[in-house]
A and B are shown apart, each in its own frame.
Chain A
């Protein structure tokens, strides 16, 4: 996935709206696989030395609101931000606007933690803003009638809204500068169509579909059972098949170039 993502983000003006969407969705999968995998490797290695590290990801793309997303994504950073920035800044104490300010400020600083670039500030700011909006919405919502049918009906809508926000924020996170981010977003907004060969779009689409299936295959059983080690309870044959498939995927689809972990740089 990485080569296609690199291509799309290096020259967003040369891609169609569909190509940009695919590139963005691929980046979302790439960074999740990259960082969650990286964290799991760290956890596994630590465990062999008898050190138990905290869980860092808990199916973040299943979140139905932005606040839940941050309870599932990069948990070590979000809890650190909460404990060492948000709470010292005042946390939930004080006026409503003061709380919103704290949220935005904590997330902007969280963005800056990723690097000294304005794009990270924008990414953090966008998340802070949506967290504040969600807090306002939740405050309003808790006062209203919380009928179960409304919850069921709104669940897919909430999920779509949350994912749209997360995806749009990823543009700022991945783009090297504001100009590229602007080009990317205007490309998405104008939704231009371009003539592309079947193989040019088909191969990345297939890679995305494969990555998505892989993610769902691991995350759904974990989310449904609320058990991160559910795979160890699968029947032996299924487990063996899963291990073999994962190893083959690693071999067959390995990149020709050295692709370092994204979070290696942070």
Chain B
């Protein structure tokens, strides 16, 4: 090579096309996908995770309840605002009949998912309170971890566009792409915090905060737009509409509740009481 040149005179001597290693790799990745990424255990092992919490709440709250009188679904503001013990006392019903299964970063889609998965039991609810907020109706082109776990292929195609849609379709086929956070979390959980479990507090609420994603939690539309930029499409309440349709089919009265910044529990319990009676 004369003088410096980015072109090399040393050429790699590769003899022909040998795809055998690639084929073995493909087979191994298939094994990982079938026996790891598609196993529910991977997703729910860490209770302190967006999907683990849904399973934990179903097991801890919904499953043991015989009769659901009031069901509350929403995000952490709704969880913090409506205390089952207080609401049950105000309504004069048993505390175990009031369930608040709102969760951090809970969206209308998550509420719909919980309702769909437990419809047999929840369809007998006397009143459903759904937390609604402006920002939770913002349709962004960023699928949440829960959406990646629970959504069908049709939902993936219908509610996302462009790169996000392509990624969702690809990850529907190759589940490892969806499960990467869960696999990573599983390792972390085993190595660093093996005993972190979700529990129910004395007031009937599930004690859990998504500290892992704390930096993304924000309630204001302005900040959501700043974070998501042009990935914010428009206000679109498709999940909420679908949930309301199902409730209408099941004949459940629904209260749409927007938690104010203060005195939230009083307002909610007052509203719930009037509707309940």
Contact = CB atoms under 8 A, between A and B. Distances in A.
A53 B8 contact: yes
A117 to B, nearest CB: 25
B6 A228 contact: no
A76 B6 contact: yes
Interface in B130-161: none
**Which residue of A52, A198, A237 has the most chain B CB atoms within 10 A of its CB atom?**
A52
Contacts of B244: none
B22 A240 contact: yes
A191 B7 CA distance: 46
Contacts of B18: 232
Among B10, B23, B24, max chain A CB count under 10 A is at B24
B191 interface: yes
Interface stretch (A127-135, A164-172, A245-253): A245-253
Q: Interface majority SS on B: helix, strand, loop or mixed?
A: helix
B12 interface: yes
B4 to A, nearest CB: 4
Interface residues on B, range: 20 to 34
Nearest to B213: A256
Contact of A55 (B10, B28, B32, B188): B10
B14 A54 contact: no
A189 interface: no
Contacts of A161: none
Interface residues of A, number: 35
B32 A79 contact: no
A232 B14 contact: yes
Given A51-B7, A240-B22, A253 B184 contact: yes
Interface stretch (A12-20, A80-88, A91-99, A218-226): A80-88
Contacts of A115: none
A144 B32 CA distance: 59
B29 A84 contact: no
A203 B32 contact: no
Nearest to A237: B24
A243 interface: yes
B217 interface: no
A90 interface: no
Interface in A68-83: 76, 79-80, 82-83
A240 B23 contact: yes
Contact of A243 (B10, B14, B22, B183): B22
A248 B12 CA distance: 27
30 contacts: A51-B7, A52-B8, A52-B10, A53-B8, A54-B1, A54-B6, A55-B10, A76-B4, A79-B4, A80-B4, A83-B3, A198-B192, A199-B188, A199-B192, A199-B193, A202-B191, A228-B12, A232-B18, A232-B21, A236-B20, A237-B24, A240-B20, A240-B24, A240-B28, A243-B22, A244-B24, A244-B25, A247-B29, A248-B176, A251-B177
Interface of B: 1, 3-8, 10-14, 18, 20-29, 32, 176-177, 180, 183-184, 188, 191-193
Given A239-B25, A254-B180, 11 more contacts: A51-B7, A52-B8, A54-B8, A80-B4, A202-B191, A229-B12, A240-B20, A244-B26, A244-B29, A251-B180, A252-B184
Give 10 closest A-B pairs by Cβ, nearest first: A240-B24, A239-B21, A243-B25, A54-B8, A79-B4, A244-B28, A199-B192, A244-B25, A83-B4, A240-B25
